[in-house]
Structure 1
Amino acid sequence: MLYFSHDRSSFISSLGGAVASTPLDVVRTRVMNQKKLKAPAQVSGNGAVCTSRIYSSTVDCLVQTVKSEGPLALYKGFIPTWLRLGPWNIIFFVTFEQLKKFY
């Protein structure tokens, strides 16, 4: 019965982790994967062709995402994240408790 309470609390804590981290992961992934937009014939003073990015900053990515897709867009991939964190937390906390008893 002790493990059952650990399982439930671990799974619920993974829910909190997923709620807190999923928006940050979505923004991080979008900023990292943004493609450069090809600017038509924009040449800088030294002759290099200038390109611009979709997002100018992390905050800009967050604002553009919410404006264009709504706030729920920040939670894309929430279920897989929660289902990944749930078993990990259960294994971690049960193992941690057993190691505390052992040492």
Structure 2
Amino acid sequence: VQIYELEEHKIETWREVYLQDSFKPLVCISPNASLFDAVSSLIRNKIHRLPVIDPDSGNTLYILTHKRILKFLKLFIAEVPKPEFMAKTLEELQIGTYKNIAMVRTSTP
């Protein structure tokens, strides 16, 4: 692309092209939704931030993240019954990648 061709373009045109192919509706959740629903929405939609929006006013109340949910669970885990799987190792649960792991050593050029 030559520079003179770029000078002919308008930001408005680029915006229209961008929105045509990549527009995704806002993924949000109600403050009345459960923690399970919030986690499910984060995972299902492959997002890192989930706005919690007041259904009456449409205002964003706060933003949920994986980190904030984990912090909440750590703080309050003692107050809920501990499921049996929580006592198992990560390997027993098969959480994570265990095969074909790429490694780089300090001696690698």
TM-score, structure 1 as length reference = 0.25
TM-score, structure 2 as length reference = 0.24
Which structure has the greater CA radius of gyration?
2
